[in-house]
Amino acid sequence: MGRAALAIKYQELREVAESCADKLQRLEESMHRWSPHCALGWLQAELEEAEQEAEEQMEQLLLGEQSLEAFLPAFQRGRALAHLRRTQAEKLQELLRRRERSAQPAPTAAADPPRPFPAAAVPPTGAARGPPAVPRSLPPLDSRPVPPLKGSPGCPLGPAPLLSPRPSQPEPPHR
């Protein structure tokens, strides 16, 4: 009786293992299908489609196949959708770039000591000058800290002057 019970348990174990393997395979497929890279591709394809529809609507308007009253709301919806998808795609791209940068190990100072600038690269006085040589040890521009500028938090350069369509003082007559 013990052997029969053990055989039943082994059969249940095989069924559970098969079920688990099937579920793992489905999980991997869905993870690939719903990965951020696939979502980015989907967003870019939808963006191209929305822009193409907007172009077709403009062509219909220019050919006189569509009235201005019907064109404006449809075109505005299409452009708003395209803008939304473009913004989402750009943010997702930036997120993926940050994730890839953080996944790469940062170079250590001991592994890559700074090299002195070679004297042969400095042209003698009066020699033809080309673009200045840039040392290879500089970090990329986007990784450098940016000093804060004076102004409001929403606008780092401060408030922009408001321009009026009419000057405050009348112009003198032209002679």
Query: Each residue of 66-96: pLDDT tens digit?
Result: 898 999 999 999 999 999 999 999 999 999 9
The pair of structure tokens assigned to 26 is 């489905």
**155 belongs to a structural domain:** no
Residue 144 has pLDDT above 50, yes or no: no
CB 70 within 8 A of CB 57: no
Between 133 and 152, the more confident residue is: 133
Q: Reduce the DSSP state of residue 89 to 3 states and report it.
A: helix
State which residues form the domain around 23: 1-34
The conformation of residue 131, written as its DSSP 8-state character, comes to S
84 and 42 in a single domain? The answer is yes
Rounded distance between C-alpha atoms, residue 111 and residue 146, angstroms: 26
Nearest-CA neighbor of 36 among 84, 99, 85, 82?
Answer: 99
61 and 99 in a single domain? The answer is yes
Query: Each residue of 24-52: pLDDT tens digit?
Result: 999 998 888 888 888 888 899 999 999 99
**131 belongs to a structural domain:** no
Longest Cα pair distance anywhere in the chain, in angstroms?
Answer: 120
